[in-house]
Each structure stands twice: as C-alpha cells, then as structure tokens.
Amino acid sequence: MPLVEGNSRLIYAGKQTAKGTPNLTPTVVFPLSGDGALNPNREIITLPETDNNTQRSDSVVVGASPAGGWTGWLRTSQMQMLSEGIMGSIATAPAGTHTATPTKALPYYTMFDVIPGVQVTRYDDARFSSLGLSGESLQGIQYSVEAVALSALLNAVEPTLALPTDLKHSYPLIKVTIGGVQPKTHDAFDITVNRNVTILRGDGGLAAFDSHAGLFEVSGTLRKIYQNDDDYNRIHGGSATATVLTTTIFAESLSILSEESATLSVEFLSSGIEYTAIAVPVSVDGSPILQTLTFNTRRQATWSNNLSIITKFP
Amino acid sequence: MPGKRNTPDEDAPVVYRFRLKDGVGAASFMADTKAVELTEAEPQFDTTDRLIAGGLRGLDFLEEVAD
C-alpha cells in the first residue's frame, strides 16, 4: 500500500436547507493551514463495579460528540459561508457586498473531513460554534473555526470541488480603525466570535437531537506600538488626561479590514468595543514597547451593531 | 399593527409578512430550523409563528409589511 502524505487533508462544507436534510453537494472546500480535523469523538468511560479482581474495567461508549475545528488562510471566496455560519444571517446589498449579522438560530451545514482517496467522514447538521481571525506583521492572516455536528457517517462518498485559487491574505492588507481613525500602530490582532454552541442529546443513539447557540461573545486583543500613555489613561480613567480612576468602561468603534481591492475584502465591524485590560510590558533587551489591549464587544440595542462581518466578493 | 393581518375569522392564523428592504439583492437567514433564502425574484417571507416574526424584526435587511 502507498503511504499517504500529511498535507492532503481537506474540509468540505455545504449549507443545509433544514436540520436532518444533509447537503451532499458541498459548495466550499477549505484547505487547512495547520493541524485540524473533524472527529467522531465517541465518548468512552468505564463503569467500575466490584469483583474479586484488580483489572481495569472495560471501556463503554456512552455517546458521541462529533466536532472539531481547523485553521486556514483568509480568502474572500470562503468568507460568505464562514460569516453566515457563525453569525446566522447574511444579506447582499448592493451586489457583491455580503453583510453577515447575528441571529439566535444558526444554519446547519454538512461537512466532509477528507483525506483524498483514502478517508471520508461526513458530519451532518453541523454548526459553526466559533470563528477567529488573527494576524501579525510579517505573517499571513489566519482564520480558525470550531464546528459541532449532530452525527457522523464513516466511509462517505468523497465530494469533488476545485480548490480555491484566490489570494491568501497577509498583514499588509490589514487596516485597523478604532474610533474612526486608523493610527497605523496596530502590529497584531486577534478577534474571536464565540456562539457557545451546546449539544442536546436526547435518546437518538449516537446521533444527537439538536444543538443550541448560547451567548454571543466577541473578544480579542490588539497589539499596538506604544507611543504615549493615552490608551492607558483612557482605559483606566476615561480620557487621555484623566488623573482619577473611573468606573466607566472605555469603549470605541472597531473595524478590522483586510482589503485586497475595492471589490475583494473582509471586514469585522463593531460599533463599540470595551477594553477590559491593557498590558504595557517591559523589554529588558531594550526593544520598543508593544502594548496589548484586551477587548470584548459591547451589548447594543441593535444586535448587528455589536458585530457584523462584511465580505466583498463578486 | 404593521404586518399583522387580522381577518374576521378569529381562528384564522395571523400572518406576519416580511420582505427584503429596497436595495438588498439577496439574503439568507434561519427561521426555526429552516434556512430561508430570499432573492429579488422572491423577496417575501410569511410566517404565522409569533416568535419567528419577533426574531425577524431584529434583522435590518428585512422590513415587515402590512398585507
């Protein structure tokens, strides 16, 4: 038998019209940029009991939690699916601009974890439970997703789709705008949308009954070139010239835009992020300070102002 | 109430009708466990479920219309 090279694994996904109706013709294929997989995750425990013996109890399968995650390089061609999957809804207006906004219910997807020609596992009724985006100067822009499915099927039929050929985004495409201004001092960022999806199992055997999206949480960090104490004072005191601590949480708008052209871009946009921590570290080697700001998005009267993801793709 | 159609027959379900706002070409969203796709050719979605209608009111690309 030939050996199988390690860089062949692919994840395919297609949106379902409803729970329980798998979509066998996926629309997007995701190449992976690192370790990642969906796994059947059978839950195995032991059920100890007394006997005249000291051997370990046998293992028992008590359920399955098909789930997993992967990372890949950010491409605009894939973000419509990823943004709708994590947010819940997407609207196109005008043509070529796709705005994903949060809703309580999330779409279901059929996903295939594929080692081409060797191993194909199909995951039905999967939901994206988290989506992260991160970047750092001199690096590529990477997304990471976690997905939770209700059931897994081994030895599925391998789907066929052409691999994406559009640009893998890198840090020179990034513009971080806070409070309406791009200071050009942001050296790294990460932002994660977490839907806290949990499984409701029921008595359907090794297939779970349904999943449920819990709290909508968006958090992240910004690494910023340190020039003065303005951010420190704003976060602790409410303004750059503050002298006393404040009970107010400092908030401002945030846009993280990765733009390869006017018609090809991805933007994470929030009307208000609130900073919860700032770290101004010491560098004993004398290198300049890079401060790290930790944030989460604020509750908003209109949910979509908390966060929307805007993809421009023809 | 906009979007609410009351008929003389009190047993008839109330229909809540939503459509894409002007300028929105296409949209997809979840209503209950179903994926709904609206397009310019088919821009309208009706539901008789008050909870679903409540959720749809939060979507800024939809508008509720009176019958």
- pLDDT per residue as tens, chain A (314 positions): 789 999 999 999 999 999 999 999 999 999 999 988 899 999 999 999 999 889 999 999 999 999 999 999 999 999 999 999 999 999 999 999 999 999 999 999 999 999 999 999 999 999 999 999 999 999 999 999 999 999 999 999 999 999 999 999 999 999 999 999 999 999 999 999 999 999 999 999 999 999 999 999 999 999 999 999 999 999 999 999 999 999 989 999 999 999 999 999 999 999 999 999 999 999 999 999 999 999 999 999 999 999 999 999 99
Structure tokens given for B47: 């539901």
> Are residues B30 and A91, on separate chains, in Cβ contact within 8 Å?
no
Please tell me the distance in Å from B11's CA to the nearest CA on chain A: 29
Q: What is the pLDDT of residue B67?
A: 66
Q: What is the pLDDT of residue A128?
A: 98
Q: What is the pLDDT of residue A32?
A: 96
Contacts of A75 (CB under 8 A, 6+ apart): A164, A166, A167, A168, A169
- Contact B51/A at CB under 8 A: no
- A19 vs B contacts (CB less than 8 Å): 33
Q: What is the pLDDT of residue B11?
A: 73
- A91 vs B contacts (CB less than 8 Å): 20, 24, 26-28, 59, 61
On whether ipTM exceeds 0.90, the answer is: no
Q: Is the CB of residue A232 less than 8 Å from the CB of residue A280?
A: yes
- Contact B43/A at CB under 8 A: no
Structure tokens given for B37: 């796709």
More confident residue, B23 or B3: B23
At B12, is the pLDDT very low, low, confident or very high (cuts 50, 70, 90)?
A: confident
- B31 vs A contacts (CB less than 8 Å): 105
At B58, is the pLDDT very low, low, confident or very high (cuts 50, 70, 90)?
A: confident
Q: What is the pLDDT of residue B6?
A: 56
Q: What is the pLDDT of residue A1?
A: 76
Q: What is the pLDDT of residue A295?
A: 97
- B20 vs A contacts (CB less than 8 Å): 91
Which candidate from A19, A89, A94 shows the least CB-CB separation from B25? Answer: A94
Please tell me the distance in Å from A272's CA to the nearest CA on chain B: 18
- Contact B28/A at CB under 8 A: yes
Closest residue in A to B32 (Cα) is: A105
Q: Is the CB of residue B2 less than 8 Å from the CB of residue B17?
A: no
Work out the percent of chain B whose per-residue pLDDT is above 90: 58
At B8, is the pLDDT very low, low, confident or very high (cuts 50, 70, 90)?
A: low
Q: What is the pLDDT of residue A80?
A: 97
pLDDT above 80: residue B1:
no
> Are residues A92 and B24, on separate chains, in Cβ contact within 8 Å?
yes
Q: What is the pLDDT of residue A244?
A: 96
At B9, is the pLDDT very low, low, confident or very high (cuts 50, 70, 90)?
A: low
Q: What is the pLDDT of residue B66?
A: 80
Q: What is the pLDDT of residue B7?
A: 54
> Are residues A18 and B35, on separate chains, in Cβ contact within 8 Å?
yes
pLDDT above 70: residue B4:
no
pTM comes to 0.93
- Contact B9/A at CB under 8 A: no
